[in-house]
Amino acid sequence: MCLLTKNLLLQFLGNFTILLFHYDGRTTEWDEFEWSKQAIHMSVRKQTKWWYAKRFLHPDIVAPYDYILIWDQRKWVFEVL
């Protein structure tokens, strides 16, 4: 994990819920990061990242949040609810 990612996550922890979608089933590799213990981990093998978003980011679930930040390895998507 790059230093920028680590620093951003540490800043967000106090006011954010971190939800990690694991498409490869490798969830234990995140155990080395202290912040990961506070995150919610979802893992379904052989699914795409947008499959997760479509099923687990239902409007009823995200309604309490002012912002949703979807971040993957290659791009940023910032959406205001």
Residue 79: per-residue pLDDT: 47
Supply the pLDDT for residue 72. Answer: 66
Alpha carbons 79 and 3: distance in angstroms, whole number:
24
**pLDDT at position 6:** 63
pTM of the predicted protein model: 0.62
- pLDDT, residue 9, reads 67
The predicted pLDDT at position 25 comes to 77
d(CA 73, CA 20): 12
Residue 39 has what pLDDT?
Answer: 84
Closest CA to 53 of 39, 37, 69, 29: 69
CA count, 13 A, side-chain hemisphere, 57:
18
Report residues of the chain scoring pLDDT below 50: 1, 77-81
Cα–Cα distance measured from residue 35 to residue 1, given in angstroms and rounded to the nearest whole number: 13
pLDDT, residue 2, reads: 53
